[in-house]
Structure 1
Amino acid sequence: MDLRKTAEGVLAGVGGEDNVTSLVHCATRLRFVLKDKDKADAAVVKKVPGVITVAEAGGQFQVVIGDDVPDVFAEIGKISKVGPSAAGETKPAEDAPKANLFNRFISMISSIFTPVLWTLAGTGLLKAFLAASVTFGWLSTETSTYVVLNALSDAFINFLPLALAITAARYFKASEFTSLAIAGALVYPSITALVGAEGLTFFGIPFTMVSYVSSVIPIIIIVWLQSHAEKFLYAKLHSSVKRFLTPMIVVLVAVPLVFLVIGPISDILGGWLGSGIGWVFSTVPWLGGAIMGGLWQVFVIFGLHWGLVPLFQLEYQTTGQLLLVAPVFAAVLAQAAAVAGVWVRTRNKNMKALAAPATLSGFLAGITEPAIYGINLPLKRPFAFGIVGGAIGGALVAIGGVFSTAFVVPSGLALPALFGNGSMVWLAIGLAAAIVIPFLLTVLVGFKDPQEDETVAAEASDLDVASPLDGIVVPLAEVPDAAFAEGALGDGVAIVPSKGVLYAPFDGVVAAAFPTGHAVGLRSADGAEVLIHLGIDTVKLAGKHFTLKVEQGQTVAKGDVLVAFDLEAITAAGYDMTTPVIVTNGDRHEIMGDRAAGAITHGDALYFAVSVEPAATAQASA
C-alpha cells in the first residue's frame, strides 16, 4: 500500500483538511467528525487504493482501512494538521450540525473509549493467559511471580476511572488534571476501604460508599458536569484567582456529589442491568447468546457496537464476569470461517489472495473488517452463513454458562479468557458449530463466484482513450475538486461538456455504474480502468437530470451511449460540469505522449495509456 497516496486520497475525499473537525482511529477504521458531511464523497473515498469501504454511523464518517489503519492515520498527520486536537479533542465543533441524540451518544462513547480500548484489551489478554495458567496448574497464586503478573494485568482495568477521566475531559473540554484529581479520589485506598461500611456520613449527611474500581458511568457524568462548572467559574472569578480556585471548588463539590448522589444511583442502575443480563442468560441463555452471536457483526457494520461497550464494563464491575462477551467469540470466528470457505471454494485469484490474510486476521486477532467488507458482505451468502453460524454457536456457548473473566477482543488468541468459566464442553461445541457451519455452507452451498479479473490473467497492453464527450478539454489541475485536481484518484484530463451525452471511450466492460448516473467506470479488455465523473458534487442530485443507459458488467463498444444528462438543468442548479476522465490503475497503465487540449468531439483521441508491465519486463530482460 502506498500510504501517502491513500492518505491524500482519503483526505481529499472527505472534503479536504478544512472540512475535518477531528480524526481518530480504532482497530480498522479512520473515524472522521466532519463540519459538513455533504462535502464528503463516499464513492470517491471507496475508490482510493487501500480503502476497503466507507460507513457513516454515530455521527462519524468512517473509512475502513484494515490492519494498516494506524500507518494511514500517521501519514495523514504528516501531510496535514488533521487529527485529535492538542487535547485529544474528538467532539464536534460548536458550529457543526447537530446529530440526533442516539448518534451523539454513540459518538461520545466511541471518542471516550477508543483511546483506551487496545490497552484494555492487551492487559485483558494478559489476565486471560494468567487465569489459564492458574487453571491448568502451571502457576500458583501463592507465588510472588503471580502477584506481579496479576498486578500488571489487572491494574489498568482496576484504575479505569483514571484513564476515562482523561479521555472524557478531552471530549467535554474539561481540565484533564482536575478530572484526574476527581477520579483519583474515587479509587483512593482509604475510600475503597469504606465500601460496605455502615454509618458513613459527610457533614452529617448519611451515605453509602459503593465501589468505583473499574467503574465507568460515575466518572463520565461528573466530568461532563465539571466541564460546565469550569466554564461558569472561569467566567465569574477574577483572573488573579480563578486558575487555582476553579479546580479547588470543582473538586470540593464534585467528589462529594459522586459519593452522595451519582455513585449510589449508578450503582443501583448497574445492579439492575447486571441482574437483567444475568436473568436473560440464566432463564433463556440461548436467546441472549443467539442475539449477541448472530447480530454482533451487524452492529459492527453500523457502528452500534460502541453502545454495548459500557454495558460490558458495567456487567464486569457489577458481577466480575462478562456473559455478554462470550457469544461474541462465536460471531467473530463464524465470519472468519465463512471467509475461509471462500478461500477454499473460489477460483478467482484476486479473491483467493484477499481471503487468505483475511482468514488469518479474523481467526487470530479477531479483526473481521477485511473479511466482511472485502469478501463476505459483497458476496452476500458468506456473510449470511456467518450470521447463522454465529447465532447457533453463540446460543450453545451461552447455554453452557460460559463467561469471560477479562475485557478482551474476542479472537482465537483471547480464548484463554473463557477457559474454566462455565461448561468447557458447551464452549467447545459452540465454537465448533460457529466455525464448521458457515465454513461448510460456504463451501457446499456456495456463492456467485466473481469472474476472474482480466487484468490478472491477460497481459496488459496499450490503450487509445477517445473523448467520451463533446466539449472543451482542460488540464486535470483545473478541476475544482482537490481529489481530482491533485491526482489522488488517478491521472488524466477533464472535459467541460457542451452536450448532454456521455459515450464509451473504448471497447470494454462497465466496471461501475452508479445508480445516480453521475459516474461510470470502464475496464478495457487489457485491464485499463477509466473513471468518468460527470461534474463536481453532482452525486447530491441523487440521479435527477441523469439517465443511466448501461448497467454494471455490461459489455460496451466505443461510441455506445453510457449516460444521457440534462446539461442546462444541472448547470442551472449551480453545479460545475467539469468532467474528469482518469486512469485509476496507474500502476498498470501510464498516460504517455500528448494529451488533447481545447475543443473536442466525442470519438476524437483524448490520450494514450501505455502498459507499465511490459516495459518493466523488457528492462528486466535487458
Structure 2
Amino acid sequence: MNYSNLAKNLLHLVGDKENVDALTHCATRLRFTLNDNSRAKKADIQNLEGILSVVESGGQFQVIIGNHVSHVHSALQELLSGDIKDTDATAKTTTNTEKQKVGVVSKVFEVISGSLSPLIGALAGAGMLKALIAVLVMFNVLEKTESTYLILSAAANAVFYFLPILLGVSVAIKLGANGYVGGVIGASLLEPNFTGLIDSGSADFFGIPVIAINYSSSVFPIFIAIALLALVEKYLKKVCPNSIQLFMVPMVSILVVVPLTMILFGPFGVYLGNWIADGLNWLIAHSSILTGAVVGGSMMFLVLFGLHWGIVPIIIANLALGGSSIAAMWAASTFAQIGVAAAFWLRSKDQNIKAIAGPAAMSGFLAGVTEPVIYGLIMRFRKTIPVVVVSGAVGGAFISTMNVKMVAFAFHSIPSIPLFEPVVPYVIGISISFGLSFIGTLLLNPEKQNGTSDVAAKA
C-alpha cells in the first residue's frame, strides 16, 4: 500500500491542512480534531482503499485504518509539516467550540483516550513481558529468587509502578499544560520523603491533615491533579510578567497542585477507584452471570465508537488492587469477534473477503486488536452483530462466574493468556465465546444472505 498517496487523499478529504486542529493515533485509528467536521467528506473517506470505516465520537473525527495506522500517521505528519499539533507529543488544548460543540462526557473520554494512547504501547509491551516471565517461571526456566527474574520483573513492572509520572506527562500535554511539570507532580507522589509518611500514622501540611497513600500504579489521582494544573498554569500565564514566567509559573504550579493533591485530590482519586472496584465486586457478588453477560455482550459497541478507552483507567486502577474482573469479561467479546473473522476466512469463496478476514483474525489472536474485524466484516455483514453479542455474553457470564481476573495489563490475545487467573476457566470462557461465534457465523452464513455485492472489496 502506498501510504503517502493514502495520506494525501485523506488529508484532502478531511478539509486540507487548515481544517486539521490536532492529530493523534491509537492502535488502529487516526484521531483527528477538526475545526469543522462538516467539511470532511465521510463517504468518500470510507471508500478509500485501506480505510475500514469512519466514526465521529468524543469530539473527534476517527478514521479506522488497522494495524498499519502508524505508517499513515507518519505520512500525514510529513504533509502537515508542523502546521498542527500532534497530540502524541504536544497536543492542542481546545477545539473550535464556536464551530462544533463538544459535550462534557465526550470531552472527558477524549482526554482519557488522548492521554492513554501514547502510553498504550508501553503498557501492552510491559504486560506481554510479564506474561513471558510467567511462562518462564511455569516451566522452571526462571526462579523467583534469582537475579535474572528480578531484573526482568523490574523491566516489566516499571511502567505500572511509575504510571503516575508517565500519565502526568501525557495528561498535561493533552490538556495543553507543561508536560514535564505534570511529570514532576506525578513523581512527587512516589518520592521517598512522601512515601516514608505512609507508615508514620499521621502527617500534616501546615497543620492540615494529609492522608499518605501509596500512589504507585494509580490512575484517577493524577488525572484530577493535572486537570487542576492546566487551570492553574493557564491563570498564571495571564497574570505573571513574561520576564519571570520561565520559573514562576512552574514553581507556583507545583507549589499549589502538589499539596492539594496530597491533601484532597489524591485520596479522593484513590477512593474513587476503590469505589468503582467495590461497585463492580458488588454487582458480581449479586449477579455474576448478569454482570459478565452485560460486559461481554456490550464491549464491542464501546470499541465501535472508540469509547473503550474510558474503561482502561478503571481496569488499571483495579489491577493495583489485585486484579481486574472487567478486563477478563471484556475478553469474551474480543474472542467472539475473532470467531467471526475465522469463520469468514474458512467459509468465504470471495478472495477479497478472505484477504480481510485472515489478517483480521490473526490481528485478534496475536495482538488483541479487533477493529479490523468490526469494521472490515461485522459492520458490513450486520447479521453477525447478534452472534457476537450472544457469544460474548455467554463467555463473559462464564468468566465472571468463575471469578477470573486479569493481573497485569495487556490486550486480550493468545500470548496474554498467562496474565489471567485462574487460567483454565479463562481459557474455557474465551473458547466458549470464540466457538459459539465461529459456529454461529458458519450456520448463519451472512455472506450468502447479504450477497457479496454488499461488501466493497477493500484490502
TM-score (norm 2): 0.93
**Which residue of structure 2 lines up, in the alignment, with residue 7 of structure 1?**
7
Aligned mates of 2:19, 2:288 — CA distance in 1? 47
* Aligned 8 A contact 2:221 2:267 in 1: no
**Which residue of structure 1 lines up, in the alignment, with residue 304 of structure 2?**
301
* Aligned 8 A contact 1:33 1:92 in 2: no
Matched, 1:222 2:225: yes
Q: How far did residue 97 of structure 1 move?
A: 2.6
Q: How far did residue 406 of structure 1 move?
A: 0.6
Q: How far did residue 438 of structure 1 move?
A: 1.0
- The runs of 5 or more residues in structure 1 that have no matched partner are 454-509, 513-528, 530-584, 586-622
Look up the SS of the partner of 1:194 in the other structure.
coil
**Which residue of structure 2 lines up, in the alignment, with residue 411 of structure 1?**
413
The structure richer in strand per residue is 1
CA RMSD of aligned residues (A): 2.2
**Which residue of structure 2 lines up, in the alignment, with residue 430 of structure 1?**
429
Aligned mates of 2:385, 2:260 — CA distance in 1? 48
Look up the SS of the partner of 1:31 in the other structure.
strand
Aligned mates of 1:138, 1:282 — CA distance in 2? 38
**Which residue of structure 2 lines up, in the alignment, with residue 374 of structure 1?**
376
Look up the SS of the partner of 2:369 in the other structure.
coil
**Which residue of structure 2 lines up, in the alignment, with residue 258 of structure 1?**
261
**Which residue of structure 2 lines up, in the alignment, with residue 110 of structure 1?**
113
Look up the SS of the partner of 1:325 in the other structure.
helix
**Which residue of structure 1 lines up, in the alignment, with residue 337 of structure 2?**
335
Give 1:40-439 correspondences, 5 Å limit.
40-81=40-81, 82=84, 84=86, 87-94=89-96, 97-317=100-320, 319-418=321-420, 421-422=421-422, 424-439=423-438
Aligned mates of 1:125, 1:85 — CA distance in 2? 26
The structure richer in helix per residue is 2
Q: How far did residue 135 of structure 1 move?
A: 4.4
Aligned mates of 2:232, 2:88 — CA distance in 1? 22
Q: 1:101 to 1:85 in 2, by over 3 A?
A: closer
Aligned mates of 2:227, 2:444 — CA distance in 1? 52
**Which residue of structure 2 lines up, in the alignment, with residue 620 of structure 1?**
none
Aligned mates of 1:232, 1:216 — CA distance in 2? 25
Report percent identity of matched pairs: 34
* Aligned residue type for 1:105: V
Aligned mates of 2:455, 2:264 — CA distance in 1? 61
Aligned mates of 1:440, 1:94 — CA distance in 2? 48
* Aligned residue type for 2:206: F
Look up the SS of the partner of 1:106 in the other structure.
helix
Q: 1:398 to 1:50 in 2, by over 3 A?
A: same
* Aligned residue type for 2:442: V
Look up the SS of the partner of 2:293 in the other structure.
helix
Q: 1:153 to 1:306 in 2, by over 3 A?
A: same
Q: How far did residue 452 of structure 1 move?
A: 5.9
Q: 1:292 to 1:315 in 2, by over 3 A?
A: same
* Aligned 8 A contact 1:22 1:89 in 2: yes
Q: How far did residue 451 of structure 1 move?
A: 4.8
Q: 1:452 to 1:104 in 2, by over 3 A?
A: closer
**Which residue of structure 1 lines up, in the alignment, with residue 38 of structure 2?**
38
Aligned mates of 2:88, 2:170 — CA distance in 1? 12
* Aligned 8 A contact 2:31 2:63 in 1: yes
**Which residue of structure 1 lines up, in the alignment, with residue 446 of structure 2?**
447
**Which residue of structure 2 lines up, in the alignment, with residue 468 of structure 1?**
none
**Bigger relative contact order, structure 1 or 2 (CA pairs below 8 A, ≥6 apart):** 2
Deviations 1:372-431 (A, max 9, x none): 21112211233321222111111111111111111111111211111xx23x44223212
Q: How far did residue 432 of structure 1 move?
A: 1.8
Q: 1:90 to 1:433 in 2, by over 3 A?
A: farther
Q: 1:191 to 1:49 in 2, by over 3 A?
A: same
Aligned mates of 1:371, 1:86 — CA distance in 2? 26
Q: 1:142 to 1:18 in 2, by over 3 A?
A: same
* Aligned residue type for 1:440: I
* Aligned residue type for 2:382: K
* Aligned 8 A contact 2:161 2:216 in 1: yes
**Which residue of structure 2 lines up, in the alignment, with residue 26 of structure 1?**
26
Look up the SS of the partner of 2:211 in the other structure.
coil
Larger Rg: 1
* Aligned 8 A contact 1:332 1:366 in 2: yes
Q: 1:237 to 1:511 in 2, by over 3 A?
A: closer
Aligned mates of 1:282, 1:34 — CA distance in 2? 44
Aligned mates of 2:105, 2:205 — CA distance in 1? 37
* Aligned residue type for 1:17: K
- The runs of 5 or more residues in structure 2 that have no matched partner are none
Aligned mates of 1:83, 1:240 — CA distance in 2? 26
Aligned mates of 1:236, 1:445 — CA distance in 2? 66
Aligned mates of 1:243, 1:68 — CA distance in 2? 40
Q: How far did residue 241 of structure 1 move?
A: 2.8
* Aligned residue type for 2:393: A
* Aligned 8 A contact 1:297 1:332 in 2: yes
Aligned mates of 2:238, 2:354 — CA distance in 1? 62
* Aligned residue type for 1:257: L
Aligned mates of 1:441, 1:380 — CA distance in 2? 13
Look up the SS of the partner of 2:374 in the other structure.
helix
Aligned mates of 1:170, 1:439 — CA distance in 2? 43
Deviations 1:37-86 (A, max 9, x none): 11011101011111111111111111111111100111111222355169
Look up the SS of the partner of 1:240 in the other structure.
helix
* Aligned 8 A contact 1:335 1:383 in 2: no
Q: How far did residue 283 of structure 1 move?
A: 3.0
Deviations 1:103-141 (A, max 9, x none): 111111111111111111110111122234334544221
Q: How far did residue 252 of structure 1 move?
A: 1.7
* Aligned residue type for 1:444: L
Mean Cα displacement is larger for which, 20-29 or 344-353? 344-353
* Aligned 8 A contact 1:339 1:375 in 2: yes
Q: 1:389 to 1:452 in 2, by over 3 A?
A: closer
TM-score (norm 1): 0.70
Aligned length: 454
* Aligned 8 A contact 2:293 2:394 in 1: yes
Deviations 1:457-481 (A, max 9, x none): xxxxxxxxxxxxxxxxxxxxxxxxx
